[in-house]
Amino acid sequence: MKKKITGILIILLFYPLSGQQLAALSYSGGQLSTGGSLFRVESPNSKRGLTYDEIEGTPYLDKIFSEANFIISDKDKVETAPARYNTYSDQIEFKKGDEILALFPDNPFTRVEFVLTNQVLVKLNVDNELKGYFYEIISGKNTLYKKVKAKFNDFVPAANSYAMDRPANFNILNPIYYIKTENGFIKNLKNKKEIIEQIPDKKEALNTFFKENKIRFDKEEDLKKLVTFLNQ
């Protein structure tokens, strides 16, 4: 049964709290995280924190909040809220009334499904590389995931009076793709050899597939075709 997200989601307030205060905040079954970090990035060159409004570019693929289903392990436990994904902070942000909030990393939700776009974000915790939120592109026996990250480039002051300052900016990096198989994850896909080594029982079929299809391992449509074939 759907219900509005309540106590297990966190409100990020816009004033700093000490580590002791943070540890004292909790909800049923976990801890709350709050502080002045939302929409602010520390800029060593500016010697202060910069708000997102002071930084060129955006860490959002889609800045608009849209309806999303927050799922705890199965479809019977669903809550809803307008949401968006921050690729810099790796946080799911959502709206509750006029407030903008964010999920604490140790939240119970394993999937966030956006209703209008059909995009799905899955929370993984496999290792340091496969940790956080990943777009689920193809699901099934073999699953295709995509990681999107934004990089913060700090403000650079002009070297002399003839030069200009270079403003701080967000730069969304090229996505990284992963395939989850029964034998584990294939990371940083580069060539067909990696695929065949990970799925040796399909070696002959894969060799035929690669001969008939020119697959680029940095192109999402090609990887979708590959994983769809693996799931047949």
What residues form DSSP beta bridges with 49?
Answer: 42
Place 27 in a pLDDT band, splitting at 50, 70 and 90: very low
**Residue 26 pLDDT greater than 60, yes or no:** no
Q: Torsions phi, psi of 112, nearest 5?
A: -130, 115
pLDDT at 14: 33
Place 76 in a pLDDT band, splitting at 50, 70 and 90: low
Place of tokens 């940095």: 218
Higher local confidence (pLDDT), 123 or 17: 123
Q: How far apart are the first and last CA of the chain?
A: 33
Each residue of 194-211: pLDDT tens digit?
Answer: 889 888 999 999 999 999
pLDDT at 4: 55
Q: Which amino acid is residue 52, in one-letter code?
A: Y
* Residue-wise burial string across 212-227, b where 16 or more C-beta atoms lie within 10 A, e elsewhere: eeebeeeeeeebeebb
Average pLDDT of the chain to the nearest whole number: 82
* Lowest model confidence (mean pLDDT) among 12-21, 168-177, 190-199: 12-21
Q: 66 near 80, Cβ under 8 Å?
A: no
**Residue 177 pLDDT greater than 90, yes or no:** yes
C-alpha 219/C-alpha 232 separation (Å) is 21
Each residue of 96-112: pLDDT tens digit?
Answer: 777 788 888 888 889 99
C-alpha 111/C-alpha 138 separation (Å) is 14
pLDDT at 112: 93
Of 36, 51, 44, 60, the residue nearest 155 (C-alpha): 44
Which two tokens mark 113? 């499904």
Q: Can you spell out the DSSP letters for 134-203?
A: EEEEE-SSSEEEEE--EEEE--B--SSTTS--B--EEEEPPPEEEEEETTEEE-S---HHHHHHH-GGGH
Q: How many CB atoms lie within 10 A of CB 76?
A: 8
Mean pLDDT of 40-44: 93
Work out the percent of the chain whose per-residue pLDDT is above 90.
53
**Is 0.85 topped by the overall pTM?**
no
